[in-house]
Homo-oligomer: A and B are copies of this chain.
Amino acid sequence: MLMAMESRRHLLDTDGLSREEIQELLDRAKYWKQQGKQKHALGAGRFAANLFYEPSTRTRVSFEVAEKRLGMETIQFNPDTSSGVKGETLQDTMKTLASIGVEIAVVRHAGVGVLAELAREDLGLSLVNAGEGNGGHPTQALLDLFTMQEHFGEVAGLRVAIIGDIHHSRVARSNVWALKTMGAEVVLSGPASMRDAQLEQHAPYVPVDEAVRQTDVVMMLRVQLERHRETIFTSADDYLRAYGLTGKRESMMQPHAIIMHPGPVNRGVEMEDRFVEHPRSLIFEQMANGVWIRMAVLERSLEKE
């Protein structure tokens, strides 16, 4: 007597989206941005639950703001005080939430493939990936593309460098899929120990100076210092000099080229402190645009009533 199977509008990762679907999301984000800071009626009386099994500020708050701007009701789900501690599976938690009336579950989880696994069965709600281990972070990639499109007019034809810990980066992965789909060129760079053989089948690896010099967009990735500091490089300064955005590298950038970063920035590691608020930096625009993209993503996942 479970609810009948229906097709759901999940957002698992960018590699599942066609060029038309991505363009539709970018267009809808533009629409929502043009509407400004008002509360809409689209989601009135409809519930989203935010399940963050890993720490987050910008993504969690951004989704919550997006949900509320759409007029949705939001449920903040705290894994530490839920029935997960009684051994309930994630799958049963989803079915429970769906039965109670939740239509969209926004999930951040450490386990790569957890969402794809969940999506195999009809859970009664739509899943939105808010960052999954080293796997994917599709709304981050979409907001990055939206920010590029807004700045340059279109994404097709742009040359984008993604620099840093490529191997462990869900942001890199989702951006490569989305950027290639939209017709951008991507190069990867960073420490040799952080290269990713699989991704390099889609985007070539080049030295940092070359990456910075040849591209329209210099996207620096967050280094998880806590993991790598001791083993790979001896200090933040060493990382900055070898792979970060120093004054010298910024001066190599093309005059029109921009700086991006998914945040939070380790100031003085991925880039010199001053570049975070630099005229070339679109880091705060990225954060602001995250709300409009997430409104578009949520809108797509809301079932027709």
Residues of A whose CB lies within 8 Å of any CB of B are 1-3, 37-39, 44-47, 49, 52, 55-58, 60-62, 64-65, 68-69, 73, 75-78, 81-89, 92-93, 95-97, 99-102, 225-226, 263-267, 277, 279-282, 284-285, 287-288, 290-291
Within the oligomer, what is the number of copies of this chain?
Answer: 3
Q: Which residue of B lies closest to A40 (CB)?
A: B45
Instruction: Report chain B residues within 8 Å CB of A102.
Output: 61, 65
> Contact check: which of B58, B81, B267, B287 meets A52 at CB < 8 Å?
B81
A–B Cβ pairs within 8 angstroms, 11 of them: A1-B285, A2-B281, A37-B45, A47-B65, A56-B81, A56-B82, A57-B96, A62-B100, A65-B102, A92-B267, A96-B287
4 closest A-B pairs by CB: A99-B287, A57-B83, A88-B264, A39-B45
Instruction: Report chain B residues within 8 Å CB of A288.
Output: 99-101
B58 touching A96, Cβ below 8 Å? yes
Q: Give the shortest distance, in Å, between A229 (CB) and chain B (any CB).
A: 11
A55 touching B81, Cβ below 8 Å? yes
Q: Which residue of B lies closest to A81 (CB)?
A: B55
Chain A at the B interface: SS class? mixed
Q: How far is the CA of A60 from the CA of B49 in the complex (A)?
A: 13
B291 touching A100, Cβ below 8 Å? yes
A83 touching B100, Cβ below 8 Å? no
Instruction: Report chain B residues within 8 Å CB of A99.
Output: 284-285, 287-288
11 additional A-B residue pairs with CB within 8 Å, beyond A64-B75, A96-B287: A1-B281, A1-B285, A37-B46, A39-B44, A55-B86, A58-B83, A58-B96, A60-B81, A65-B75, A78-B81, A87-B226
